[in-house]
């Protein structure tokens, strides 16, 4: 199915689900009709998953799995082509002392850095499900999202034309919090359309909710549903520029949304927690939460990612300790 045909199918399904055209009134009726979030129950479930013991033979599997799900990121104003090339080198060979260490899923950069990432990856640029490395580009006036739609679309089209496989867009949080749901919906639809390539394929669209600015779990749930209804391929917690960024309860809630969407439509949507996940101990909790909430089928690059800049360093350290027999890492949570 081409990107255009897929968009038309999804638009019709959305109209059927929400009971009309996606205007403010119809979207508000649908989103506010969703069951409310039991905050205490959500936090207790998330906490419980972080306290389980682990089998020794699961540790190495978990470490390698996490590495394959990382979007290795540099999103600084001082980024240079040389820094991006160094990032790519680390993405391709995370541990220079061990050729068996798996590659990460993607490198995530600003749009103007995409050509340098593509060039540096060379023949290794491709689908991470096939062991290659994708290029993700943040777009749409990241991290604030404060720009006209025309600028956001131009930003997206340029990144895709330069070879970006994935676009990480930010929603207009101000519009969402003001109840202008149709504005947010229409912008996601337009950005998804801008991800289309001339050959009929499309870059994957990750929709960043910036959950730290949404204030309540109910808002996170509504924003997650809105992003999926509008055509997002992934829902992503954060830009990493706002605190709090990713948290386990928020990520669990977003996983519950994609689980419910899958049960409703048969379509699998990805989830990407980003920002603040720095240690293997923390990352394992997220992997367990995925396995327990949506199933281990989601533990593949096209359905789950970690947005991180420093997490990989700790994963390599823990991996080396296990290899040398001097492992002193955390008590991991079992996932088997």
pLDDT tens, position by position, 29-79: 999 999 999 999 999 999 998 776 556 668 889 999 999 999 999 999 999
Per the annotation, the verdict on 236 as an active-site residue is yes
- Residue 45, CA atoms < 13 Å, CB-side half-sphere: 18
Between helix 280-293 and helix 56-68 the angle, nearest 10°, is 90
pLDDT tens, position by position, 248-296: 999 999 999 999 999 999 999 999 999 999 999 899 999 999 999 999 9
Whether residue 250 lies inside any domain: the answer is: yes
If DSSP codes are grouped into helix, strand and coil, which group holds residue 159? helix
Per the annotation, the verdict on 90 as an active-site residue is no
**Pick the catalytic residue: 192, 206, 221, 236?**
236
**Pick the catalytic residue: 272, 282, 285, 314?**
272
pLDDT tens, position by position, 161-175: 999 999 999 999 999
Describe the strand order of the beta sheet including 106-110 as a list of residue ranges. Answer: 270-272, 234-236, 204-208, 166-170, 134-138, 106-110, 70-73, 306-308
CA dist 108 and 112 (Å) reads: 12
Whether residue 302 lies inside any domain: the answer is: yes
Q: What are phi and psi of 38, to 5 degrees?
A: -80, 95
CB 318 within 8 A of CB 63: yes
Q: How far is CA 335 from CA 50, 122, 154, 288, in A?
A: 11, 35, 43, 6
Per the annotation, the verdict on 192 as an active-site residue is no
**Residues of the domain holding 248:** 3-324
pLDDT tens, position by position, 187-204: 999 999 999 999 999 999
Whether residue 334 lies inside any domain: the answer is: no
Q: What is the DSSP letter of 125?
A: B
Tell the burial category of 199 from Cβ atoms under 10 Å away from its Cβ (0-12, 13-18, 19+).
Answer: exposed
Q: Which of 261, 246, 319 is nearest to 67 (CA)?
A: 319
pLDDT at 52: 67
Q: What is the number of structural domains in the chain? A: 1
Q: Is the pLDDT of residue 126 over 90?
A: yes
Name the β-bridge partners of 306: 70
Q: What are phi and psi of 194, to 5 degrees?
A: -70, -15
pLDDT at 122: 98
Between helix 248-265 and helix 39-49 the angle, nearest 10°, is 100
Whether residue 259 lies inside any domain: the answer is: yes
Q: What is the pTM of this model?
A: 0.93
Whether residue 161 lies inside any domain: the answer is: yes
Whether residue 333 lies inside any domain: the answer is: no
Q: Is the pLDDT of residue 331 over 70?
A: no
Whether residue 336 lies inside any domain: the answer is: no
Whether residue 307 lies inside any domain: the answer is: yes
Above pLDDT 90, what percent of the chain? 87
**Pick the catalytic residue: 168, 233, 282, 314?**
168
CA dist 191 and 280 (Å) reads: 34
Indicate which CATH number applies to the domain containing 73: 3.20.20.70
Q: Is the pLDDT of residue 94 over 80?
A: yes
């Amino acid at each position: 199915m081409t990107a255009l045909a897929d968009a038309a199918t999804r638009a019709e399904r959305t109209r059927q689900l929400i009971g009309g055209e996606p205007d403010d009134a119809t979207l508000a009726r649908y989103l506010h009709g969703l069951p409310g979030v039991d905050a205490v129950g959500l936090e207790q479930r998330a906490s419980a998953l972080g306290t389980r013991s682990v089998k020794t033979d699961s540790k190495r599997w978990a470490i390698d799995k996490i590495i394959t799900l990382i979007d290795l990121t540099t999103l600084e104003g001082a980024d240079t082509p040389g820094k991006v090339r160094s990032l790519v080198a680390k993405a391709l060979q995370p541990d220079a002392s061990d050729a068996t260490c798996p590659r990460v899923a993607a490198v995530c950069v600003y749009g103007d850095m995409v050509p340098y990432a593509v060039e540096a990856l060379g023949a290794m640029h491709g689908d991470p499900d096939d062991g290659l490395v994708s290029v993700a580009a943040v777009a749409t006036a990241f991290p604030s999202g404060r720009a006209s739609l025309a600028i956001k679309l131009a930003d997206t089209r340029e990144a895709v034309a330069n070879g970006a496989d994935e676009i990480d867009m930010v929603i207009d949080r101000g519009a969402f919090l003001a109840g202008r749901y149709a504005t947010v919906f229409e912008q996601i639809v337009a950005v998804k359309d801008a991800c289309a390539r001339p050959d009929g394929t499309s870059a994957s669209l990750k929709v960043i909710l910036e959950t730290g600015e949404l204030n309540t779990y109910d808002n996170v749930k509504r924003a997650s549903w809105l992003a999926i209804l509008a055509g997002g391929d992934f829902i992503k917690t954060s830009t990493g520029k706002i605190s709090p960024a990713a948290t386990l309860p928020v990520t669990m809630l977003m996983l519950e949304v994609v689980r419910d969407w899958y049960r409703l439509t048969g379509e699998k949507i990805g989830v990407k927690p980003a920002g603040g996940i720095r240690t293997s101990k923390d990352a394992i909790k997220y992997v367990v939460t995925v396995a327990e909430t949506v199933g281990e089928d989601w533990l593949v690059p096209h359905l789950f990612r970690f947005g991180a800049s420093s997490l990989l360093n700790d994963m390599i350290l823990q991996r080396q300790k296990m290899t040398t027999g001097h492992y002193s890492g955390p008590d991991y949570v079992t996932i088997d």
